[in-house]
Amino acid sequence: MSDVEHWIRHGVEMRRPLLVKQSLSQSEKVIIVGGGLSGMSCAYRIAQKRPSAEVILIEKSEHLGGVISTWTEEEWVCDLAVNATRAHPAFWRLVKDLNLSKQFQPSRPRAKSRWVLLGEKRHRLSPFTLFKIGPLRLLRAIRGGRKGGVSVAQLLPHKQIADALTLGIVNTTSEHVDADFLMPSMTRFGPIPPLKNSRLKKQIKATYPLFTPKKGAVASFEGGMYSLIDALQNQLESMENVTVITGQSAESPQSVASQFDVSLDSILWTAPVLETDRELTKLSVFAVGYRNEDVAHIDYGYGTLIPDASIPISGILHESDLHHSQRAPEGHRLFRIMAPHARWDGDESKIEESIERLLSGKKPVIFRNLGVQTIPTYPPGYMQGLSQKSIDCSYAGWGVSGVSITHVVDEAERVAELF
């Protein structure tokens, strides 16, 4: 495949390094550690590309899916981690290959608005947000960011807006996040596209196998993101060259290589990273439901990011506004609340007080703590260090070079293309 074809197929994901040893593609037995979306996608794409190879997927818990989880209670439906996907042809290709196209639809057009709470006022995110930063100030910061290794706070010199962005993605404030990791196109990290950006976007747009997504829109599955995990698991279990093992932990790549009598070259580690000095952050997720009349004053939209550290909530997502499929009983709206543990002491009454102030003074119909997400940090300079890292085996997944759902699905294709 030519360089141009790679860029058309993968887009800006080509800027992110692959921590995959070339020798992995020569393995007749591939051991994938970690049964989350990344491990499952890699197992599927590798087994599909090389039917003669034996692919073994091992997962420490009793079920596959990793961070992807969907909570349901009667007619309420809420995703705990990823709830939708931004446009990327690799994700569309996976949906098509798994015969999920009827369940996969774009978000509701009315739900495009996104807000940031600045002080006591909500600011609608738009091109005019640049004026909050200052266009010239932003341009100077972007030029400075191209030297590499800077933080998102340095790249976007408006702390509240920058913090809102990073809290909504990696659960920490902008001075602690590598700009090359979060915005590689803006910092010009990695390889340079062989085509002009406008030409590249046009050619990528023509490759979507289902519907062509509109700018700014997202898409999701009827019944939540776990629909994807179910379909992937069913597909893997039907493939003759794939073995899925659950309830088995892995101490290290070396222990896995010894157990399965293979070299480290045959190991693809997609589980959480093993580095003991890498900081992790935690985030609790709540589902909160109201009757329509009790939140009639809340605008219809995607949600609000909250950078104010004095508030225990960092984001409110409008679950039932966003998705094409029903997420709440008729006459109700559902909101997903994110509470970083760096702000919140575990007292649920403080979350209730915050939603009363930010959403409605009325008592919610439903209030559920859905669980905790653990998210690795990506400090300034992370990507530069990653591109120079020597590896003992191959690595992929959330904890390596990207956190978006489109990244891990596209990365699985890139890995499989080596076979």
What residues form DSSP beta bridges with 178? 151
Helix spans in 276-331 (H): 319-322
Nearest CA to 177 out of 382, 403, 405 is that of 382
310 part of a folded domain? yes
Same-domain check for residues 336 and 214: no
- For the CA atoms of 279, 184, 412, 63, the dihedral, rounded to the nearest 10 degrees, stands at 30
Per-residue pLDDT of the chain (419 residues; tens, 9 = 90+): 579 999 999 999 999 999 999 999 999 999 999 999 999 999 999 999 999 999 999 999 999 999 999 999 999 999 999 999 999 999 999 999 999 999 999 999 889 899 999 988 899 998 888 778 888 888 898 899 898 999 999 999 999 999 999 999 999 999 999 999 999 999 999 999 999 999 999 999 999 999 999 988 899 999 999 999 999 999 999 999 999 999 999 999 999 999 999 999 999 999 987 666 688 999 999 999 999 999 999 999 999 999 999 999 999 999 999 999 999 999 999 999 999 999 999 999 999 999 999 999 999 999 999 999 999 999 999 999 998 888 999 999 998 999 999 999 999 999 999 99
179 part of a folded domain? no
Nearest CA to 382 out of 193, 187, 194 is that of 187
Q: pLDDT at position 388, please?
A: 86
Q: Are 83 and 319 in contact (CB under 8 A)?
A: yes
Pairing of β 303-305 and β 114-118: parallel
Task: Give the domain range for residue 312.
Answer: 109-113+278-376
pTM, two decimal places: 0.95
- Kindly report the CATH number assigned to the domain that includes residue 338: 3.90.660.20
CA distance 323 to 180: 31
- Kindly report the CATH number assigned to the domain that includes residue 89: 3.40.50.720
Q: pLDDT at position 276, please?
A: 61
Same-domain check for residues 208 and 351: no
Q: pLDDT at position 127, please?
A: 82
Same-domain check for residues 44 and 85: yes
Spatial CB neighbours of 154, under 8 Å, sequence gap ≥ 6: 141, 144, 145, 179, 380
Determine the straight-line distance between the first and last CA of the chain, rounded to whole angstroms. Answer: 12
229 part of a folded domain? yes
| Count of residues in the chain | 419
CA distance 160 to 125: 12
Q: pLDDT at position 38, please?
A: 97
Helix spans in 156-261 (H): 159-170, 179-182, 184-187, 197-205, 226-238, 253-260
* Number of domains, the chain: 2
Spatial CB neighbours of 363, under 8 Å, sequence gap ≥ 6: none
Phi, psi of 216 (to 5 degrees): 85, -10
**Of all helices (H) and strands (E), which one includes residue 45?**
helix 37-49
174 part of a folded domain? no
